[in-house]
Structure 1
Amino acid sequence: MTTSSLIRDQKPGAARREGHPGIALTVIAACQLMVVLDATIVNIALPHIQDALKFSTTDLTWVVSAYTLTFGGLLLLGGRAGDILGRRRVFMTGILLFTFASLLGGFAQEPWQLLAARVLQGVGGAIASPTSLALITTTFPEGPERNRAFGVFAAVSAGGGAIGLLAGGMLTEWLDWRWVLFVNVPIGVLIAVLTPMYISESERHSGRFDIAGAVTSTAGMASLVYGFIRAADDGWRDSLTIGSFVAAVVLLLSFAFIESRAKEPITPLRMFADRNRSGTYVIMLSLAAAMFGMFFYIVLFVQNVLGYTPIEAGLAFLPVTVVIALGAGISQRFLPVLGPKPFMIVGSALAAVGLGWQALISSDSSYVGGVLGPMLIFGFGMGLNFVTLTLTAVSGVAQHEAGAASGLLNAMQQVGGSIGLAILTTVFGTASRDEAEKQVPDFLTNGSPEQKAEFAQTQQLPAPWGHDVLAQGISAAFIPAAAMAVLALATAWLVIRVRKSDLEALSGSAGPGVG
């Protein structure tokens, strides 16, 4: 597919309401922000959710995992649905489903009710998110205008996690934990009202759903994510853990076999034939795996070790949003000149440095030295990467395949985050248990009678022993997180190439025959 043929495929008059591209972009970005931040907005509220609905500690992890697993598993289907049924129609369906699920979750009285709502949120997000990215490709022509739009979209995607933590802290402390879900309702309703006013329907492409491909890809990714989550709780030798990985391998191999023979595949395998696009998917998966874990464990550290309130914990993450936006702006400005590779290399290297610094964290670390400093380096690196990865993944893709391409990119981010968090949780659990065994003798010698009585009931060491256990576990968890960023760096260095056609496409100057 050449850049010129992509331009011929696009019909700007049918893809946007003339004169209001800024409003259209605001609507699309608002959807993405709502979907992305919901992966983290509940994190700070988890202790309050546990107390209110009587979750066990193990079951509480599913408040996060139920959303990310469903979201990641269904993204490919959501992208394909937009291609066939019309992107605006599918976009609105996802938004309304997500909004309804948020309302149900806010009224939950039992653990299963909240988990069911989180699953439904994941389904709605999986339908809306890839379609929102694809709508940009039909609303803005390739070149500087689309680069700016993707810059906004990527900044929202990258900063959504930090914004979710801040919003979660404010809503939990000022109102109630239920508002981390209720807040989506007015936003979702407003998006649903504005969408038909400012975003035109895309051209519908004839075809059928690749049901077999959709089922095997969704089930395979869900099984893979579940296997890692299960391993975090029950170990690698658990029969269900092993069974999940075996099922994932069988299902994903079946998916590849089906797609190679399907006339209208949900994910055209030729997308992976492009060297840069394949490298982009690997980098996205690796960095997302590191990013999700970073947010999760630093939240634990600032609240449980530094003693921050929910809103203080949320504010502690505000600087990372600023540097992500700064990095996104710089990459968007110079990407047409330098191409994607320099930003991927520098961004991944900075992410690895930040995570390596955080691996030095201890119970004596301060906010500035143990959290803020490394988080700023990490965040700036992620800002450089997200715009670059987004543009590279969809550049040169035909309009009728844009939904599948964006769905695959989003799937890499969500599934990567889910897998990464599960891996880090496994490392955290092992390291913290080992440290607890070392701390118990000193606790039994120096702890007060009241502390010993509480320990006998909860099996949880109090401060300062508990702080040492938590910090040691977090420190160990950041080692594989840094390794994931190094993998992204190696991929950027060895796989990504700077091509003249990419520079021309990014600058909007590609002529006929460029591809």
Structure 2
Amino acid sequence: MAENQSTSEQLSSAQKLALFVLLGAQFMLSVDFSILNVALPRMGEGVGLSLADLPWVASAYALPAAGFTLLFGRIADLFGRRRLFLTGIALLTVASLLGGFATNAAMLLSARVLQGFANAIAIPAAMALLITTVSDERARARVLGLNGALLSGGFTVGALVGGSLVSALDWRWAFWINVPVAVAIMVLTPLVIKESVRPAGVKLDVPGAVTVTAGLLALVYGVSMQSWIALVVGAVLIAAFWFVELKAKAPLVSLTLLNRPNIKWGNYGGIVAFVMASGVNFGLTLYMQDVLKMAPFTTGLVFGGPGLVAVVAGVIAGRMIGRYGYRNVLAVGLLAQGLTTVPLLLTGTSTTPSLALIVPSLFLMYFGHVTAVVAYTVTATSGLDDSQQGLATGLATLAQQIAVTIGIPIFGALVAARTDVLDGVHFAMQVQIVVILVSVALIWIGLRDRGVPAGPSSSAAERQEPVPTAEAQQPAPVPVPRKVSENTV
């Protein structure tokens, strides 16, 4: 049967080319993110930014990336995903050139703002194109697994290669390296990807777009800058957005969609996975450099090996979702990510025994994290019409952006709650373990099968089923093949 074939056997040549371009773009964006993090100290020196002002380089990117992701995901649904994807890649090219030629802080921060906008425009559109390129649920799970593997590999490769690139050449190459890849993507995309079908007569919900974007910007700024006023303003605007959507004829985000258990709990799982991963990485980095007195390069190597091996988890996760369903894989992935940090509670002030605990724990933790990331992406985008995939992937991307933004401040506050760094790191790990256990229980209950009868219009998400298997699908008297994709030639 088709369900038992490999992904490569199920995909046409046109689909493979489309996936190659889209997966390549995702890999480039993840590499770019980690390379720039590595180049940050040299970058600050090059344009005259003080150490205290360096966080603005990250914030200038995070604000538009998180604040506008949901809006551009919906715009992609309404006005064309390929068009938005190409716009985002073109903007990234301009931003990379501007950043590479920056001679002062204003030029550098402007480039980072443009990169944040490029990310918010390109990633939801790319993810929606990726998902709608493959119609078979099992093949789609494997493709998303490969995407998760490439994202994980991109972050790790960027961190490892970035240090060498910046040291051998110049920090400006952390920007310039994007340009040839982005140009190649812009040339290939029109050749292998068709424009998505746009719904007729549907207008953009402007009041909803304004309130949610302003609210998200205020919340992200409030967390990044630790501003309670901004957090309150953000909460008020998000509440206003909710009331606007209740009355809107064509809401930006259907509240019915948000109430779907797979959307709600899938994105919650993604937030937990990314908050905990970014927090643990921050805590361990602080511990290894401040307590164990390890050099930054050595610290990077400790993270690099497990990160590369975790790439395998993306491929395995896609196959496991097709076999066991996204509910099981998401729960197990999060549980593995949380429980494998338990040995870190035994670390001390001696380097060798502590590293003997840290390295194997990181291998297992990253494996669980990547598995959870793939599973949450599949969970949060399953059972939807193609016309809603831009919004769904926008929500999934938004969950990631917000989680990465708030993870370090949260863990930083937990570590600072103790006077000793080692005690603070242990306390943060204890909190993470408790949060993971509670979250897994909530997700397991939230995604349970409620036994809704499967009618002609019932989707897998509405029945709270995992990715449909061959045994679970109802055979039709006369099979009517659906177009494999609207996005491939």
Runs of 4 or more, structure 1, over 6 Å off, are none
Aligned pairs for 1:52-451 within 5 A = 52-206=46-200, 207-231=202-226, 241-299=227-285, 305-308=292-295, 310=297, 312-366=298-352, 368-431=355-418, 434-435=419-420
Return closer, same or farther for 1:293/1:165 CA change in 2, 3 Å cut-off: farther
Task: Indicate if the aligned counterparts of 1:213 and 1:255 stay in contact, CA closer than 8 A.
Answer: yes
What is the aligned partner in structure 1 of residue 485 from structure 2?
A: none
Describe the superposition over 1:326-359 as per-residue Cα deviations: whole angstroms up to 9, x where unpaired: 2222222222332122222221111112334345
CA distance in 1, matches of 2:416, 2:104: 27
Task: Indicate if the aligned counterparts of 1:362 and 1:472 stay in contact, CA closer than 8 A.
Answer: no
Q: CA deviation at 1:283?
A: 0.8
Give the SS at the match of 1:403: helix
CA distance in 2, matches of 1:507, 1:56: 59
CA distance in 2, matches of 1:425, 1:288: 15
Return closer, same or farther for 1:84/1:96 CA change in 2, 3 Å cut-off: same
User: Across the two proteins, how many residue pairs are aligned to each other?
Assistant: 451
Task: Indicate if the aligned counterparts of 2:283 and 2:425 stay in contact, CA closer than 8 A.
Answer: yes
Q: CA deviation at 1:297?
A: 4.5
Task: Indicate if the aligned counterparts of 1:337 and 1:503 stay in contact, CA closer than 8 A.
Answer: no
CA distance in 1, matches of 2:428, 2:179: 35
- Larger mean CA deviation between 204-213 and 131-140 belongs to 204-213
What is the aligned partner in structure 2 of residue 460 from structure 1?
A: none
CA distance in 1, matches of 2:470, 2:397: 24
User: Is 1:494 the counterpart of 2:480 in the alignment?
Assistant: no
CA distance in 2, matches of 1:248, 1:71: 16
Q: CA deviation at 1:318?
A: 3.1
Q: CA deviation at 1:142?
A: 2.7
Return closer, same or farther for 1:359/1:197 CA change in 2, 3 Å cut-off: farther
Structure 1 counterpart of 2:446, which letter? V
Aligned pairs for 1:448-459 within 5 A = none
Describe the superposition over 1:349-377 as per-residue Cα deviations: whole angstroms up to 9, x where unpaired: 11112334345544433473253222112
Task: Indicate if the aligned counterparts of 2:156 and 2:308 stay in contact, CA closer than 8 A.
Answer: no
Q: CA deviation at 1:481?
A: 4.1
User: Is 1:28 the counterpart of 2:25 in the alignment?
Assistant: no
Structure 1 counterpart of 2:59, which letter? S
Q: CA deviation at 1:36?
A: 3.0
CA distance in 2, matches of 1:404, 1:508: 30
What fraction of aligned residue pairs are identical, expressed as a percent?
33
Task: Indicate if the aligned counterparts of 2:327 and 2:466 stay in contact, CA closer than 8 A.
Answer: no
Aligned pairs for 1:464-475 within 5 A = 474-475=425-426
Structure 2 counterpart of 1:505, which letter? P
Return closer, same or farther for 1:480/1:39 CA change in 2, 3 Å cut-off: farther
Return closer, same or farther for 1:429/1:177 CA change in 2, 3 Å cut-off: farther
Return closer, same or farther for 1:42/1:481 CA change in 2, 3 Å cut-off: farther
Return closer, same or farther for 1:294/1:276 CA change in 2, 3 Å cut-off: same
CA distance in 1, matches of 2:366, 2:234: 32
Please list every run of 5 or more consecutive structure 1 residues that lacks an aligned counterpart in the other structure: 1-16, 232-240, 436-468
